[in-house]
Amino acid sequence: MAWQEMSVRDQRQEFVLLASLEGANVSALCQRFGISRQTGHLWLRRYRAGETGFEDRSRRPHASPMRTSAELEARLLAVREAHPAWGARKIAFVLKEEGQPPPAVSTIHAVLARHGRIAPGAVTQGGYGSFEHDRPNELWQMDFKGKVRLRSGLWCHPLVILDDHSRYAIEVSAHTDEQALTVQNRLTAAFRHYGLPNAIYVDNGSPWGGGVPGQWTGLAVWLLKLGVRTIHGTPYHPQGRGKIERFNRSLVAEVFALNLLNDLADAQAAFDRWRPIYNHLRPHQSLGFERPASRYRPSARPYPETLPEPEYAAHDCVRRVGTTKAYISFKGRMHKLPQAFAGEKVAVRPHGPDGHFIVCYGAHVIAKIDLTSPLPQEPEL
């Protein structure tokens, strides 16, 4: 061990006094005091220069030419102050747009951390992949983020609609429930403003229904009439929902975590303030730091105020589904159809071997009929 911790100053003073004597053997003294010759000569030089304190000097450099300037740090912190959930990459892009060459992302992160803008141990969560459709409105993703309790004790159910290609937030709204009528009303407003997408991607929960054959909902039938397909995600495979899951994380970090929301009105006001920021200002890393609004255009398919009915050919065998119980009569038998089609017109068409038919709602197959099977029990109507 070099110096004894209890008397470091005294030992240094004794060393330089002995080493300064005429004919002193500095190498031997260094060995006796348990220090290197380099350290011994360092203390001798400081002693001969007039130093008497013999305290450890700071190793911090006198100048830091690579240190971020105070003005630049202030600008970094100002961007972070305006958008507390934005990370170093987004802030670097903003500075670049302003014509100011940004420091390295790691430097920006260090500045934020030094000023307490980043929680210790904070990490960035990864995504599920970058597949996207080629054009806006080919696919919208729709989801309830999951209920959030507000300060009043009420539950808020945020409904989110996101364009798959551009990540443009079509809808962010606060609701008291997750019912089909709630979704249909908000979709109607979105369709009137942005036009109709080709398809909407949803999960398998309420109110969308499960994506299994024969499991239709009134909401899905309404969308069929509008020419909008409903696509269900594969259960236990979140990869297909990566964009909207990432959006939901941003919603939590940039709205719920930064605002005190008492009721649904507060929540909706916060959503309305944030959505333009997300669509028009916030650089999106997976878009090469473009904004969603730069890649989105409304659909060329307008919303029809009069809901269209499916069209059938003159040779189709058309039946009206019962309004109370969803049955049709065909070839002397009663055949059960999904309840969501109650009161609708369907067509029965031959398909495959003799005695086999499909039941279609417009161009969509909704059921099959096999007349070669034993006669089922007559339903009670």
Q: For residue 372, what are the CA distances in angstroms to 162, 171, 331, 375?
A: 47, 49, 12, 9
Going from the C-alpha of 347 to that of each of 47, 198, 336, 368, 375, the distances in angstroms are 105, 24, 14, 11, 21
Q: Count the helices and strands in the chain (H runs, E runs).
A: 11, 12
The CA–CA distances, whole Å, from 204 to 143, 171, 199, 232, 373 equal: 10, 20, 15, 6, 32
Q: Tokens standing for 309?
A: 């009915």
Give the SS3 label for residue 125. coil
More confident call, 49 vs 173: 173
Q: Residue 125's pLDDT is what? A: 46
pLDDT of 55? 64
Structure tokens at 66: 């690579």
Label residue 380 by pLDDT band (50, 70, 90).
very low
Which residues, 6 or more positions from 239, have their beta carbon under 8 angstroms from its beta carbon?
Answer: 128, 129
Residue 364's SS3 state is strand
Q: Is the pLDDT of residue 57 over 70?
A: no
When the candidates are 3.30.420.10, 3.30.300.30, 3.40.50.10420, 3.40.1400.10, the CATH number that belongs to 140-295 is 3.30.420.10
Neighbours of 59 (CB within 10 A): 5
pLDDT of residue 189: 96
For 268-284, what is the mean pLDDT? 91
pTM for the full predicted model? 0.64
Peptide bond into 207 cis (omega under 30): yes
Residue 249 has pLDDT above 80, yes or no: yes
- So where are the chain's domains? 5-48, 70-114, 140-295, 317-370
Q: CA–CA separation, 368 vs 215, rounded Å?
A: 14
